[in-house]
Amino acid sequence: MKKFLSSAILGATLMSFGFTQVSCGSKTATEANVTDSVTPRIVVAYVTAGSDVMPDPNAMTHINYAFGHVNETFNGINVDNPDRLHQISALKEQNPDLKVILSVGGWGSGRFSEMAADSLNRANFAADCQRVIKEFNLDGVDIDWEYPTSSSSGISSSPDDTENYTLLMRDIRGQIGPDKSLTLATPGNARYYDFPAILPYVDFINIMSYDIGSVPYHQSPLYESEHTRLTADQALKAHLAAGIPKEKLTLGLPFYGRGFKEYPDYMDYKDLTVYDSCKIVWDEKAMVPYIENSKGELVLGYNDPRAIEIKCKYILDNDILGAMYWEYTCDNEQGDLRTIVADYMMGQKGADYVTSKTSETAE
């Protein structure tokens, strides 16, 4: 089957994604070859239906609109706040290269198991994916079923879900055709899906390498430490070991923190506050910060600009497709986190970093 990604992403020029081409006369031969061959990465930004904030359409390559849901008759899609989805899709008038995708599902969004188990319902749902794409002028759909064969989020499940998920992706691809995007979001442990079976149908896979630990553990560490259970590095390696090509993987970045005791369970990065008797600590092993209380307990795990920058470099070092983040409005007003992601995935910082690393290797 043709590579669906190529026409949508890799066919774009470096200039259209913000990489600056420098005259070869100002570089060494090695630097010229590296910079001229750098492939822009993608940035997938989740944007929610419940916000009224309009994202900067030049800060990402893809918007995943959250969410749509399987309808109550198991054969179609209900879209949260459809007026806002029309507004988000209209951002393509400002940036024609922007891709807007409807993400169907999310934590606790059910009725997938019943829909996918019935061939007629599954076919009707796939046809409704195409209807939604046309109605809202979208570039594809993202199936965020969390998770096949699991009822951990309070949804129904069946032992047949994994096989039926594959049939669902096949049917959706058949309806939307080869030129629209079909993606999915997966947990860090790379379970629940038959990846070799679905790969012919999907463009890329977004690894949710966050919420992979709860206090007193980091929720999105890059590497192992005494404060980790699962790490983003382990999540990427698990997906690669499952047979997914690196060019079909994005690494998920959290723009929020997870807390306990002094802190709420969920806190946007823009609302981050260091309470009295608490302090910020940097975990040199995990390469992320956390907030510690007066008893020395980890009470909030999160990612700050330093951690996000380190993860962006990790993405480039591992030569995967790009970055994904949840979600746009969790960042502060000046966009400290999303600017770093855009600069490294789409801008000059990324090109400069790859050039410098390759030059070091050549030396």
Name the average pLDDT for the chain.
Answer: 91
Residue 37 buriedness (CB in 10 A; 0-12 / 13-18 / 19+): exposed
Residue 291 lies in a domain: no
What average pLDDT does range 209-234 have in this prediction? 97
Q: How far, in whole angstroms, is CA 338 from its chain's centroid?
A: 13
> Residue 80 is part of a domain; what is its CATH number?
3.20.20.80
Give the model's pLDDT for residue 35.
44
Cα distances from 163 to residues 148, 151, 166, 179, 197, in angstroms, run 9, 16, 5, 25, 9
Residue 252, burial from CB neighbour count under 10 angstroms (0-12, 13-18, 19+): buried
Q: What is the pLDDT of residue 157?
A: 98
**What is the pLDDT at residue 39?**
74
Closest CA to 312 of 241, 232, 197: 232
Q: pLDDT class for 362, splitting at 50, 70, 90?
A: low
Contact 326, 256 (CB under 8 A): yes
The pLDDT of residue 106: 97
Rounded to 5°, angle at Cα 305 from 52 and 330: 20
Chain-centroid distance of CA 25 in Å reads 38
The residue that leads in pLDDT, 328 or 361, is 328
Q: Give residue-wise pLDDT tens across range 29-67.
A: 444 444 445 678 999 999 999 999 999 999 999 999 999
Cβ 211 vs Cβ 186: under 8 Å? no
pLDDT for 4 equals: 40
156 within domain boundaries: yes
3 vs 290, residue with greater confidence: 290
Residue-level pLDDT at 234: 98
What confidence tens digit (pLDDT) does each residue in 345-356 have? 999 999 999 999
- Structural domain contains residue 333: yes
DSSP string for residues in 299-317: EEE---HHHHHHHHHHHHH
* Structure confidence at residue 333 (pLDDT): 95
Please give the average per-residue pLDDT across 281-305, as a whole number: 98
Please check whether residue 222 lies inside any domain of the structure.
yes
Mean pLDDT of 123-151: 98
Q: What is the pTM of this model?
A: 0.89
pLDDT at 350: 94
Range of the domain at 321: 4-255+304-362
In a domain, 52, yes or no: yes
Tokens 């959706």 correspond to what residue?
172
Beta carbons within 10 angstroms of residue 240's beta carbon: 15
Confirm whether 277 is domain-assigned: no
Token pair of 53 as six digits: 């904030």
Query: Do the domain assignments include residue 267?
Result: no
pLDDT band at 289 (very low <50, low <70, confident <90, very high): very high
Determine the Cα–Cα distance for residues 182 and 170; give it in Å rounded to an integer.
10
Count: domains in the chain: 1
Q: Give the pLDDT confidence of 182-200 residue by residue, as tens digits.
A: 999 999 999 999 999 999 9
Instruction: Please report where in the chains the tokens 């060019």 appear, as a residue.
Output: 247
Q: What is the percent of the chain where pLDDT is above 70?
A: 89
- State both tokens at 148: 């096949």
| pLDDT level of residue 147 (50, 70, 90 thresholds) | very high
* Domain contains 294: no
pLDDT average, residue stretch 65-85:
98
What's the rounded Cα separation, in Å, for the pair 235 and 220?
Answer: 10
Question: 297-321: per-residue pLDDT in tens?
Answer: 999 999 999 999 999 999 999 999 9
Secondary structure E strands in 71-113? 77-79, 99-105
User: Would you state the pLDDT for residue 357?
Assistant: 86
At 38 the pLDDT is: 61
pLDDT at position 93 over 60: yes
Output the six-digit token pair for 231: 């790490």
Cβ–Cβ under 8 Å, residues 49 and 56: no
d(CA 340, CA 282): 19
pLDDT of residue 28: 46
CA-wise closest residue to 352 among 18, 43, 59, 60: 18
**How remote is the C-alpha of 188 from its chain's centroid?**
12
Which of 10-14, 168-172, 240-244, 249-253 has the lowest average pLDDT? 10-14
pLDDT digits (tens, 9 = 90+) for 157-183: 999 999 999 999 999 999 999 999 999
Pairwise CA distance, residues 252 & 324, whole Å = 5
